[in-house]
Amino acid sequence: MFAARLKELIGDRPISQFAREVGIPQQTISRYLRCQREISLTYLCRIADYFGEDIDFLLGRKDY
């Protein structure tokens, strides 16, 4: 669920741009999107803050 939500939030912007803006390595973001890596709490908080979203929403525990 996290990968789907992240893809939706990133939208059409290049992953490299998003990675720079949020301060997470591009390869790490790519692995999250392919469900090849679990996200750390630190990066989860960083992404939630960047998008102004709730962590539960990003993890698929809550819908809007």
- Exposure string of 41-50, with b = 16+ CB inside 10 Å and e = fewer, is eebbeebbee
Torsional sign, CA 37, 49, 9, 61: positive
Average pLDDT value over all residues in the chain: 95
56 pLDDT more than 80: yes
pTM over the 0.75 mark: yes
Residue 64 within any structural domain of the chain: no
Residue 18 within any structural domain of the chain: yes
Q: How many domains does the chain have?
A: 1
The residue range of the domain holding 20 is: 2-58
Angle, vertex CA 57, rays to CA 29 and CA 19, nearest 5: 20
* Mean pLDDT of all residues in 19-44: 96
Residue 51 within any structural domain of the chain: yes
| CATH code at position 33 | 1.10.260.40
How many residues does the structure list for the chain? 64
Output the six-digit token pair for 27. 């390869």
